[in-house]
Structure 1
Amino acid sequence: MTRFPGYPFASRWHAHPGGLRQHYVDEGTGAPVLFVHGNPSWSYLWRRPILALRDRFRCVAPDHIGMGLSDKPAAREYDHTFASRVDDLDALVGHLIAHRGAPERGWTLVMHDWGGPIGMAWACRHPGRVARLVVLNTAAFPSPHGERVRLPLRAPLWVLRRTRLGARLFLRHNLFARGATWRPLGVRRRMPADVRAAFLAPYDRPEHRVAVQRFVHDIPLRPGDRAWPLLEGTGRRLDRFAGLPAFVGWGLRDPVFDPAMLAEWRRRLPHARVEVCRRAGHYLLEDAHERFVPAIRAFLTET
C-alpha cells in the first residue's frame, strides 16, 4: 500500500545549482499540464486531477523547495522567497523542455493558493508557452481589499508573522499546516485520517517546517514588502492572458480567497468558464473533487 493514499506516482527529481533536489511528478503523455501548489500543501493536492488526466495529458506537479518530498534546507541555506519559487519553476520547466522531451509551447497552467502568484509570474516570463489557465482559489494581483487584512485574519496573521509565539506555533506545533486540514479553516468536509496524515507527512518535525513559515512571512500585503514588486508587476501583466481559454474553480467558504478575489478574476479573465461551489472551502479539491475534477477534464478536452 502506498504511503500516501491515492498518490501512486513515481518520484522524479531535478537538481538545482547548489545541490538542492526538487521533487516532481511527471505522469502521462500529451499536451503538458503544469500544476503549481501553494502553502502548506504539496503535489499530493493534485492526485485526483492527475489520475483523471494522465490518459490524455502529460501532468507535471512539482513540490516547492522545502515542501512536499523536495529537499528541506534551513533558512540560511536557501532564499525562501516568492522570487526564488518562480526561479525554481522556470528552471524545472526549462529542464523538462531541454532534456525530457517537453514542448516549448502549449502548456496548461493549473494553480492554487500561492501557486497563482508563482505560476503567473513564471507565465509572464514566457507568455508564449502558456495555452490555457486553470485558476483555483488563488490570486496573482494585489488584494482587492487594499492594504488592510480582512478583520477575521488580521490578528492571527500578525501573531504568525511578527511574534515569537508565531514562530513556536509554526515550527514546534506545526499549527499552520495542521489548521489547513481542519474544519472550517481549510476544508468544510472532514478529511479522512489517512489523507490528513499524507498532507502533513512532509512537515513531520520543526526543521521541515521552515518553508511553511517563510511563505507566510513573504505574503505581500503592501508596498515595501519584499514580494510586493513582483506581485504588483505580475498583476499589471495579466491582461496579456485575458484572451486565453481559462477555467476558474472556486470554493466560496474560503476564509482568505473570498468572493472579491473571484470577482477580480472574472474581471481579468472575462471569457473564463467559471464553476463555483458554495459548500467548498480553501482545499476545494478535497471538499468538492466530484464536481471540480470532471469540470477541469471537460475544460481541457473541449478547448
Structure 2
Amino acid sequence: MAATIISIENEHDRALKDGVSRLSEGLPIAIPTETVYGLAADATNPKAVTAIYETKGRPQFNPLICHMADLAMAKLHAEFDPISERLAQAFWPGPLTLVLPLLETSPIHLLATAGLDSVGVRVPKGFASELIRALGRPLAAPSANTSGKISPTSAQHVADDLGNKLSLILDGGSAPVGVESTIIRVEGKRVRLLRPGGIAAEEIEALLGQPVERQEGPAPTIEAPGMLASHYAPGAFVRLNAVDAQAGEALIRFAGQPVTGSEHARAIFDLSASGDLAEAAANLFGLLKQADATGVERIAIGPVPDHGLGEAINDRLMRAAAPRDT
C-alpha cells in the first residue's frame, strides 16, 4: 500500500497529530527538514530504530543522527563541552550535527548509535522540531532513501523510492539547504570536520577563531553518518571534474561553464547558472535524480569550487562517484 502524503502547509494540525501517532506506534515516517527529508523514528525504541535500518537497507554499523527539539533536550542525552555548546548556541536550529559523548542516563538505544559511546545530535529547523517536541523524545532520522542512493529533497522523491514501505510522508515542500548537515566532533581543543554539509567549515572557523581539522583520505573508522566511501549514488556511474562531455552522457555543470563536446550530451543540467553555491547545494540531489532518470549509463560532472558550501557539494559528488560493492 502506498504511503499517505499529508501537506504540512495545508493540513498542519493533521500532519502533527498523525506524525506523533505513527511515531508513538514505533513506525518510521518521512519528515521534511531544512537539509533533506528524513526517515524518522523514535530513537529510544529498538523496534522503531530497527525499522529504519530495514526500510533503508542500511548497514547497522552506520550510526544515525538523533534529532532534538532544542538544546535543552539535547543536554538530556549528550555531554556538552564548552566549544560544542558554543557551536550549538550559534548554529541551532540548523544544519549542524555535533558528535558528543552519550550520557549513561540517556534512553537512546544503542542501535541508533551503532553501539558507539557517542551520539550525533542536531536540532532541525521548522516542523521537524515541532514534531519532536510534541512526541517528547528524540528522533533518529537518516535521509529517507534506500541506503547509498541519492538523498531526497522533496516528498515526491521519498514517495518514488520508499513510498511502498512507509505509511506516512509529511510534505513540507522542497528542502531549502539540499545537502545533509555538517558533522563536527570536538576533542579537547581540537575541532574535527567529520562530514562537510549545510554550514560551511569557514563559518565555524570564523566563530571559534581556530582552524577546523579535515580528514585526509578515507576515514579509518565510522564515527558518524555519511562517512561511507560510496554513498549518495545514482544508478548511473559518475565522472567528476569533467571538462569534456562524451556521447550519451548526461552533463551537470556549474555556473554555465563551457564543456567541450557538450553538444553530444544526452541532457545538460546546471547546478546554478549564476554560480551561487547555496543554490547549487539545494539543487544537487534533485539534478542527480533528473540526470539519472534520463537512462544514461554515466553522468559527467563539471568542476565545482571547493570553498564554502562547495566543500559539501564535492564531498557528496566524490562519494557518489566512489567504487561500489555491487
TM-score, reference length from structure 2: 0.28
Q: Which has the larger radius of gyration?
A: 2
TM-score, reference length from structure 1: 0.30
